[in-house]
Structure 1
Amino acid sequence: MKKISILGSTGSIGTQTLDVVSHYPELFAVEGLAGGHNVELLAEQARAFKPKKVSVATKALADKLLADIPSGTEVFYGEEGLLEIAAATDADVVVTALVGSQGLKPTLAAVEAGKQIGLANKETLVSAGHLVTELASRRNVQLLPIDSEHSAIFQCLNGESKERIHNITLTASGGSFRDRTREELHGVTVQDALKHPNWSMGAKITIDSATMVNKGLEVIEAHWLFGLSYEQINVLIHPESIIHSFVEFVDHSIIAQLGMPDMRVPIQYALTYPDRMRTPSQRLSLAEVGRLHFREMDLDRYPCLRMAYESGRAGGSVPAVFNAANEVAVERFLKGEIGFLHIEDLIASVLDRHTAVKVPELQHILEIDRWARVAASGIRFTL
Structure 2
Amino acid sequence: MGGMNSLAHPQSRFTPVVRDPQGPRELVILGSTGSIGTQAVDVVLRNPDRFEVVALSAAGGRVELLAEQAVALGVRAVAVADPAAVGPLRAALAAKAGGAPLPEVLAGPDAATELAASECHSVLNGITGSIGLAPTLAALRAGRVLVLANKESLIVGGPLVKAVAKPGQIVPVDSEHAALFQALAGGTRAEVRKLVVTASGGPFRTRTREQLAGVTPTEALAHPTWAMGPVVTINSATLVNKGLEVIEAHLLYDVPFDRIEVVVHPQSVVHSMVEFTDGSTLAQASPPDMRMPIALGLGWPDRVPDAAPGCDWTKAATWEFFPLDDVAFPAVELAREVGTLGGTAPAVFNAANEECVDAFLKGVLPFTGIVDTVAKVVAEHGTPAAGTSLTVEDVLQAEHWARARARELAAG
The reply to whether TM is greater than 0.5 is: yes
Q: Does 1:67 align with 2:91?
A: yes
Within 1, Cα distance between the matches of 2:170 and 2:326?
Answer: 30
| Equivalences for residues 98-247 of structure 1 within 5 A | 98-137=127-166, 142-158=169-185, 160-247=187-274
Deviations 1:177-222 (A, max 9, x none): 1122222212211110011001111111110000000000000000
CA offset at residue 290 of structure 1? Answer: 2.0
Within 2, Cα distance between the matches of 1:204 and 1:267?
Answer: 20
Is the 8 Å Cα contact of residues 230 and 309 (structure 1) preserved in structure 2?
A: yes
2:326 aligns to what? 299
Deviations 1:94-134 (A, max 9, x none): 00111110000111011111110100011111101111122
Gaps of 5+ in 2: 1-23
Is the 8 Å Cα contact of residues 51 and 73 (structure 1) preserved in structure 2?
A: yes
CA offset at residue 371 of structure 1? Answer: 1.1
Within 1, Cα distance between the matches of 2:173 and 2:266?
Answer: 20
CA offset at residue 289 of structure 1? Answer: 4.5
Is the 8 Å Cα contact of residues 6 and 97 (structure 1) preserved in structure 2?
A: yes
Under a length normalisation based on structure 2, what TM-score does the superposition of the two structures give?
A: 0.89
Q: Does 1:314 align with 2:341?
A: yes
| RMSD (Å) for aligned C-alpha atoms | 1.4
CA offset at residue 85 of structure 1? Answer: 1.7
Within 1, Cα distance between the matches of 2:261 and 2:312?
Answer: 27
CA offset at residue 24 of structure 1? Answer: 0.5
Q: Does 1:368 align with 2:392?
A: no
CA offset at residue 159 of structure 1? Answer: 5.1
2:58 aligns to what? 35
Q: Please give the secondary structure, in 2, of the residue aligned with 1:371.
A: helix
Q: Kindly provide the amino acid, as one letter, of the partner of residue 144 in structure 2.
A: K
Q: Kindly provide the amino acid, as one letter, of the partner of residue 121 in structure 1.
A: N
Larger relative contact order (CA 8 Å, sep ≥ 6): 2
Q: Kindly provide the amino acid, as one letter, of the partner of residue 401 in structure 2.
A: W
CA offset at residue 269 of structure 1? Answer: 0.6
CA offset at residue 282 of structure 1? Answer: 2.3
- Which residue of 352, 375, 381 corresponds with 2:379? 352
Tell me the percent identity: 44
Within 2, Cα distance between the matches of 1:98 and 1:215?
Answer: 18
1:181/1:286 Cα in 2 relative to 1: closer, same or farther (>3 Å)? farther
Segments of 4+ in structure 1 off by > 3 A?
none
Q: Please give the secondary structure, in 1, of the residue aligned with 2:359.
A: helix
Within 2, Cα distance between the matches of 1:99 and 1:41?
Answer: 17
Within 1, Cα distance between the matches of 2:325 and 2:334?
Answer: 13
Is the 8 Å Cα contact of residues 207 and 328 (structure 2) preserved in structure 1?
A: no
Within 2, Cα distance between the matches of 1:316 and 1:369?
Answer: 12
CA offset at residue 288 of structure 1? Answer: 2.3
Within 2, Cα distance between the matches of 1:109 and 1:374?
Answer: 28
Is the 8 Å Cα contact of residues 95 and 120 (structure 1) preserved in structure 2?
A: yes
Within 2, Cα distance between the matches of 1:74 and 1:103?
Answer: 22
Q: Kindly provide the amino acid, as one letter, of the partner of residue 158 in structure 1.
A: A
Q: Please give the secondary structure, in 1, of the residue aligned with 2:273.
A: strand
Gaps of 5+ in 1: none
Number of aligned residues: 379
Q: Kindly provide the amino acid, as one letter, of the partner of residue 197 in structure 2.
A: L
Q: Please give the secondary structure, in 2, of the residue aligned with 1:95.
A: strand
Deviations 1:309-332 (A, max 9, x none): 110111111111111100111112
CA offset at residue 283 of structure 1? Answer: 2.3
1:82 aligns to what? 112
- Which residue of 117, 120, 126 corresponds with 1:97? 126
